[in-house]
A and B are shown apart, each in its own frame.
Chain A
Amino acid sequence: MRLYHAAAASMTLILFATRAFAQDPPTLATQTPAPDPKADTEVHVIGEKADSLQKIPGSGTLIPHKEIDRAQPYDSAEMLRRVPGVNVSEQEGGGLRLDMGIHGLDPGRSRNVLVLEDGIPIAVNPYSEADLYYLPQIERMRGIEVVKGSGSILFGPQTIGGVVNFLTLAPPSSELTSVELDYGQRNYAKVLALHGDSLGSVRYIVQAFHTRGDGYRDENFNATDVLGKVAFDTSSRGEATLKIGFHNDATRSDDVGLTRAMFQRDPETPTLAPADHIDQQRFDVSLTHEQHLSSHTTLKTLIYAYETKRVWNREDFDRSPASGITYDHVVGDTGFPNGGIYFRSTDTVLDRTYDVAAIEPRFQTRGETFGVGHTWDVGARILAESAHYKQYSGDTPWAQTGSLDYEFQHGTYGFAAYTQDRIAFKDWLLVTPGVRFEHAELSSAVLREGTTTGTANVNIPSSGSAGGVIPGIGIIAGSRDAHAFGGSFVGYAPPRITSPINPKGGSVTELDSERSINYEIGGRLTLRKKFHLEATGFLLDFDNQVVQNGASDGSGNELVNGGKTRHYGVEGEARLDLGSWMKLNTDVELATRFTFARAFFVGGPNDGNLLPYSPPANLVTTLAADRALGPGRLGGEIAWTFVAPQFSDASDTRAEDATGQVGLIPAYHLFDLSARYKHTPTGLTGKVTIKGLTNDPYIAARRPEGIQAAGFREIIFGLRWDHASGPL
């Protein structure tokens, strides 16, 4: 392991001993939206200026609004899939959930990635349960930033996989009104309304939309999402943005997937447990204040709170029949061992409420010492979070409540402090050391649990603390258009407190914190109006990684300490501006993003095995075109996604078992197509999107309890009207 570290560190030093050469002005135009100076109160992990990517210490990607608009994505996952190094798995429920991993990390509920919205965490409990049950809807977004290098240490609490920051719509300086109606296969429908304007120095925007559909396997869903933002001056040097959000979704969402035989016969077999249902609500409020203390010094303060409520009822089932039980329904091949699934006429209800509140001042100042420029960031955060779990046994498959079997609550106070100094030794050489301190005080109590004679009220408290020092350094050498970067940082994730292995029995699984040492080295090269190339090599060495042990262990896909693991690979992106290159009167861009990642166990019973849900390669290639046509513009895009085969358990089992829970997940290809025409005089845009063009279903996952299928064709038509009194 030391050898890996030494080699990576040496490579970094050697690379940055040489100066990159290009001198041209900034040309990351395809990655950079037009900056809106009044849209910048939120916290960025990259920034929206043309040279922002050059200044972050390490690899990063910015998806601007232009690219989101062009792709007409069904959900956020579709855009994140286009980020080098990111592995996104399709999820049921109309794009309401997200499984995302970075650098070969398990994408399960995106728990290994720090996901932010305007710089604010969105995980249900950022410290103790960093699962992403709420996913920011793509309709809210004006851009997405992804940072994977040492720049992650400005954000926390976890710094393992990287940071994804969703940038929501900014309040406009002049009137802006939009209405959109979409309709598609399987009764998919969306209605959206947006209005923004300014009143004196106050700017505001309000957006609301409702979406619904029958889903791919009769897993119907509906969601309502409301976002409101008001930006106002607090003084001649200060501005604040108040943001309020509400999200409600209700989906038919099963825990049990298809068996091997069912998927082979019909991948679109309707859900096996139609009574399974999730109801989820999220409320959030935040205030971001920015005070320019001087021309070089800014204090940005975030105050935020949010609550997530979720009730999920799941029908109880057996893989083999139990005596004395009359089942509600039975599916599959009951004559074949493990080929049938026996659904009881009862359910288990998971009722959970999560609360988070925090305050975070961030201070940035620029200065110079002995001819060396400094951009110094320092900040701190105090965060309080709590969770309250209740688990009921319901009398019917669709019961939303019942007898209380288990009750558990936990709370965390998290304290973080960080500092980073971007030192400009030369115009072409930036060195950015930083360090983050994390400390968490955790407490929990089991309030009701199962005993040998039934369930009983108890009070079993527990407490502890965890923390770490997270140093990092990044180096960037070169110009805005041609630079190399590299660095190293410590990856850290606090210990999880989550559902015990057997809530009815009350035995809690202890999970340790996760630690890794991360290295990366790479470069970017841009030639104005011609191409943009980027490649990054990475190495992650884990002392302990929490992994899903797999259904083959018989404990229901619970998380366990996986021990030492190692990830290495290469990721990159190439964009060619073919329209300019070939002197066409049409904008044509061909882009490809790739990831090669090898993530495997080191030592232990699974030594050398690949980690579950870590495909060794993926590739996304897009061809987009846009041109003036009559009184408007015509545009379109085709996207091809390839994901290499991956394993679903730590033993790297190849053969698919009868239940569908274990076995190789074969490689798959996915094609998406979109086209739109905007009639400029009226502001009307007509569009059509075809997802899963080839209608070639694939296995997206084998968890929690069987095959989850994706890749079905879906055609959606849309009509949008935009009215703006100023520039859009």
Chain B
Amino acid sequence: MPTKSEPNIRTIAQRVALVFIAFGIVVISVGACLPTGRACNPGDYLPCTCAGDVAGAALCDEIGSSYGMCDCTILLDAGTDVDVTENTDAASDANDSGGPCSGEVDLQLTCACNDNSNCASDFCFTYPSKGPHCSAHCTTDAQCPPPALGCNPQGICKIP
């Protein structure tokens, strides 16, 4: 039989478990305290729904403070999910819809390109992994207007 000076196994186990659980809660709580950073990535879109359950997208503003109003005219073909294994020329379809990235000349900043002649800026820059996109040399963010995301440390416009 356990005595007062010798707590039984259950008591020890309970105390140990309580200490560990309490400590775990402290770690999880402290870890959850994060500073308030930028709300969103400038140029990013968030899915949203307009009146009448029409799917749309909201644009994050230039300083990343918040997403704007839901825009229900922006989606090219809302909800078009393409399977990983499916070969498609959806790209051509997307380009046919018109807009700043359609055609083969005078493409605007951030449009995909093949060479300099495609771009209005006459500068098709090969971003690592993202591949070639119309860009511009810059020294200030103002030289890279949206949808570009400003000037990066290497003097090239950032792209989404």
Residues of A in contact with B (beta carbons under 8 Å apart): 255-256, 261, 269-272, 314, 316-340, 342, 344, 450, 452, 499, 501-505, 507, 509, 549, 552-558, 560, 576, 578, 581-584, 590, 592, 594, 596, 600, 608-610, 615-619, 621, 642-645, 647, 649, 651-655, 657-659, 662-664, 667, 704-705
Contact = CB atoms under 8 A, between A and B. Distances in A.
A555 B149 CA distance: 11
Contact of A651 (B38, B129, B157): B38
A338 B113 CA distance: 16
Contacts, number: 274
Q: Identify the interface centre among B28, B84, B90: most chain A CB within 10 Å of its CB.
A: B84
B69 interface: no
B41 A322 contact: no
Contacts of B52: none
Contact of A655 (B27, B60, B102, B118): B60
- Chain B's interface size range is 35 or more
B114 interface: yes
A-side binding surface: helix, strand, loop or mixed?
loop
A706 to B, nearest CB: 10
Contact of A335 (B76, B95, B110, B130): B76
B17 to A, nearest CB: 9
A327 B89 contact: yes
Contacts of B107: 323
B12 interface: yes
Given A325-B114, A334-B90, A657-B41, A667 B31 contact: yes
B24 interface: yes
Contact of B74 (A321, A327, A337): A337
B145 interface: no
Contacts of B130: 317-319, 554, 556, 705
B79 A335 contact: yes
Contact of A652 (B38, B45, B57, B60): B38
A332 B35 CA distance: 32
A258 to B, nearest CB: 10
A655 B39 contact: yes
A269 B84 contact: yes
A255 B131 CA distance: 12
Contact of B82 (A331, A503, A554, A652): A331
Contacts of B82: 330-334, 340
A593 to B, nearest CB: 10
A653 B40 contact: yes
A502 B112 CA distance: 16
A396 to B, nearest CB: 14
Contact of B104 (A323, A503, A558, A643): A323
A260 to B, nearest CB: 9
B37 A647 contact: yes
B152 interface: yes
